Structure 1
Amino acid sequence: MKNHLFFFFFLLTVFAASGQQVRRLGMEGSYGFIIPHSSELRSISESNPFGLSVHYQLMKQDKKNWDACNCFHYLGIQASYHNFGNRDVLGSAYHLSGTFEPILWKNGPFSLTVLTGIGLSYLDQVYDPILNPDNLFFSSPLSFLGFVNPKLEYRFGDDWGVNLSLAYNHISNGGQSQPNKGINYPMMGIGINRYFESSSFPKHEKSILPRTVQWYMEIAYTNRESNWSEGRKPVFTVLGGFHKNLTAINGLGVGIEFTKDYALEVENSRIEALMPAPFIAHHFLFGRFDFNQRMAVYLNKPMGYHDFIFYQRYSLMYRMVQNFSMGFSLKVHGHVAENIDFRISYRF
């Protein structure tokens, strides 16, 4: 009996030592404005969104979770409601998102974090050619939400914290239906967190930065509505490039991608819809996570396909095993999102 009790308490001790974690429940109110990113949107952008969000987050403090991003970070889920201040045209949005929030700086009771998230958004007022022709922001009730939200928190006591935040929100259906201008709306917020555990931060050594450039290849797939035939057509992308770390979390790189878009109409041959585009990229590198922003220039594109000669691509990848990563990206022309794709990457 004594041996069993000793073994039981030994397991509890080991679990407690290896399972250090912090859980918290938070609530935040926010208020902002809509960015009219084209002349067609000015008349319906003169309102102020407001909303409320509730989130639950977990931070594990062991070395394995530290290595995922070379930092302490929260993972969680967030439910939020945003009213766009124009009930008849824009209505409201109901969001459910997964979140990632690394701690960038901490000094005593103060900490600076960046909450990022992506999820689904249900919109109760969308474009209709007869009933709601003015809403060019979104045309499908189910869309995608992405946001970046820096936060400054002050902890008082072991159980509570308050924060100020500035969020940039984007909703788009990823080109699944038109019109799809996408809505961009910054918001300021104030929130409160209830902590269920409190512990000191252990010391972990950061990974050594690679001294050489990191080469990689990616393949991607999506589909979207065709402008020359009925139904949805596939869009394939292949790219190659490299990046080099400048700091522990920043890197710069270049590459070229080739996209074959079967949704585009061509005059003579499908080769016209093969679009090579060299790009430059900035990488936020958090251990296994790679959030990169690319600026690409078309070397070739079909006649009538956008007035832009460049586009942006925002990509989030997670390294699953030694050299393979999986994730998704959003292609954007100016402020207008075109599509979201799924991609697989291999690094050399």
Structure 2
Amino acid sequence: MRFFSVIFFFFLSHLTYAQFNSRLNLETSYGFIIPHSNSLKPFAENRPYGISLHYQMMGLSEKKWSACNCFHYLGIQLSHYNFADREVLGTASSLSGTFEPIIWKNSSWTFSVLSGMGFTYLNRVFDEDNNPDNVFFSSNLSFLLFLTPRLEYMIQENFGVNLLFSYNHISNGGQKQPNKGINFPMVGIGMSYYLNKSNLPVYSAGRISNELFFFIEGGFTTRKTLGQEGRSPSLSLVFGAVKPVSAINGIGAGLELNKDYSLTVENTRLEALMPSPYIAHHFLFGRFDFSQRMAVYTQKPFGYVDHLFFQRYLLKYKIHQNLSLGISLKAHGHVAENLDFRMSWEF
């Protein structure tokens, strides 16, 4: 009882604390599955549907605002998706952390972009004997990533309605095969109820630098060793540069050196060293940097992948003037390969 009393007091204190806005969102959505390989085409007619419950808080202090030079919500979302195929694909139940910056707002309308990442439980996964058709995922515990533009209209002081479009991805980050991952865009409607709502103060952004800056970045993950038991490290070293071109946009380029010890080589481990130059776009929100990189392999081990290019989606948060921590997703087209942790230093 003491634990629940502490949780209740914490929740109540945030509802009455004037430095925060808080709200609950209830949304339902409907969509389709992208068949990004021939083996997935039988599922193209599936129409997944889902429901989500979302609690969010927005800090109103200048310190909170300066984290991304914008007002933004941080939240926790519970969601449940049914893939309209009970025997093969089943359902996904997820718990995610979210970040939602306000892009544009007037007295009645608000446009924002919600992003989130979390853990999802899948009740039907690949099984060689009992469920061989489900090559989307093979781990009951996997990862959910999503990006959701949202438009909200206030119909009362504390009550709003929402229209949204979301792009969702579920995979196990390459931890177990098969892992083609499932991509399912959805449209949805919902409603928001504000538990605490105050007018947004006006802050002036400091001078935004448009100077070119450089960084060095390291990445680490583990992958299942091909043809063997256990897992092996996959290490990355990146040299890059970023040029801000507006208040929230930047362009960049660099070189990623990836050495994957899980891959089979014929002669020396140098065959598993994959130098990959890339170009990138950056969304720059204060301390947050969400980048999308397009890279080309200049070398890769024989039999690794048929693709010449790969994408890397990276979210970093600056914890110090020069030091950032983050997480990235590597993908070939619509197929996710792995997640890794990143650390970078600007100079």
TM-score normalised per structure 1: 0.94
Q: CA RMSD in A?
A: 1.5
Q: How does 1:233-252 map to 2 (within 5 A)?
A: 233-252=232-251
Moved more, 224-233 or 159-168: 224-233
Q: What is the identity, as a one-letter code, of the residue corresponding to 1:130?
A: D
Q: Deviations over 1:31-78 (max 9, x none)?
A: 000000111100123210001000000001111111111101100000
Indicate conservation of the 8 Å contact 2:109/2:154, yes or no.
yes
Q: What is the identity, as a one-letter code, of the residue corresponding to 2:332?
A: H
Give the equivalent residue in structure 2 for 1:169.
168
Give the equivalent residue in structure 2 for 1:220.
219
Q: Deviations over 1:112-154 (max 9, x none)?
A: 0111000001000000011000001000000000000001100
Q: What is the identity, as a one-letter code, of the residue corresponding to 1:288?
A: R
Taking the aligned partners of 2:273 and 2:18, their CA distance within structure 1 comes to 50
Secondary structure of 2:67 counterpart? helix
Give the equivalent residue in structure 1 for 2:6.
none
Give the equivalent residue in structure 1 for 2:5.
none
Indicate conservation of the 8 Å contact 2:210/2:245, yes or no.
no
Indicate conservation of the 8 Å contact 1:318/1:326, yes or no.
yes
Give the equivalent residue in structure 2 for 1:279.
278
Taking the aligned partners of 2:313 and 2:174, their CA distance within structure 1 comes to 15
Give the equivalent residue in structure 2 for 1:10.
none
Give the equivalent residue in structure 2 for 1:44.
43
Give the equivalent residue in structure 1 for 2:340.
341
Taking the aligned partners of 1:84 and 1:191, their CA distance within structure 2 comes to 20
Displacement of 1:20 in angstroms is 1.9
Taking the aligned partners of 1:68 and 1:54, their CA distance within structure 2 comes to 26
Give the equivalent residue in structure 1 for 2:84.
85
Taking the aligned partners of 1:240 and 1:35, their CA distance within structure 2 comes to 34
Displacement of 1:107 in angstroms is 1.7
Moved more, 39-48 or 235-244: 39-48
Give the equivalent residue in structure 1 for 2:316.
317
Taking the aligned partners of 1:246 and 1:78, their CA distance within structure 2 comes to 33
Give the equivalent residue in structure 2 for 1:206.
205
Structure with greater Cα Rg: 1
Taking the aligned partners of 1:334 and 1:202, their CA distance within structure 2 comes to 42
Paired residues, what number?
334
TM-score normalised per structure 2: 0.94
Q: Does 1:262 align with 2:250?
A: no
Give the equivalent residue in structure 2 for 1:20.
19
Give the equivalent residue in structure 2 for 1:8.
none
Indicate conservation of the 8 Å contact 1:19/1:62, yes or no.
no
Taking the aligned partners of 2:129 and 2:273, their CA distance within structure 1 comes to 37
Q: What is the identity, as a one-letter code, of the residue corresponding to 2:164?
A: S
Secondary structure of 2:41 counterpart? helix
Displacement of 1:19 in angstroms is 4.9
Indicate conservation of the 8 Å contact 1:44/1:134, yes or no.
no
Give the equivalent residue in structure 1 for 2:4.
none
Q: Deviations over 1:243-291 (max 9, x none)?
A: 1111111100000010010000000000000000000000011111101
Give the equivalent residue in structure 2 for 1:299.
298
Q: What is the identity, as a one-letter code, of the residue corresponding to 1:231?
A: G
Q: What is the identity, as a one-letter code, of the residue corresponding to 1:237?
A: S
Taking the aligned partners of 1:262 and 1:197, their CA distance within structure 2 comes to 51
Taking the aligned partners of 2:59 and 2:231, their CA distance within structure 1 comes to 43
Give the equivalent residue in structure 2 for 1:4.
none
Q: What is the identity, as a one-letter code, of the residue corresponding to 1:324?
A: L
Indicate conservation of the 8 Å contact 2:220/2:233, yes or no.
yes
Secondary structure of 2:196 counterpart? coil
Displacement of 1:322 in angstroms is 1.1
Secondary structure of 1:69 counterpart? coil
Q: Deviations over 1:293-319 (max 9, x none)?
A: 000001110011100011000001000
Sequence identity (%) = 56
Indicate conservation of the 8 Å contact 2:167/2:185, yes or no.
yes
Taking the aligned partners of 1:337 and 1:47, their CA distance within structure 2 comes to 21
Taking the aligned partners of 1:159 and 1:261, their CA distance within structure 2 comes to 52
Taking the aligned partners of 2:206 and 2:119, their CA distance within structure 1 comes to 34
Taking the aligned partners of 2:77 and 2:199, their CA distance within structure 1 comes to 25
Q: How does 1:134-173 map to 2 (within 5 A)?
A: 134-173=133-172
Secondary structure of 1:174 counterpart? coil
Displacement of 1:211 in angstroms is 3.0
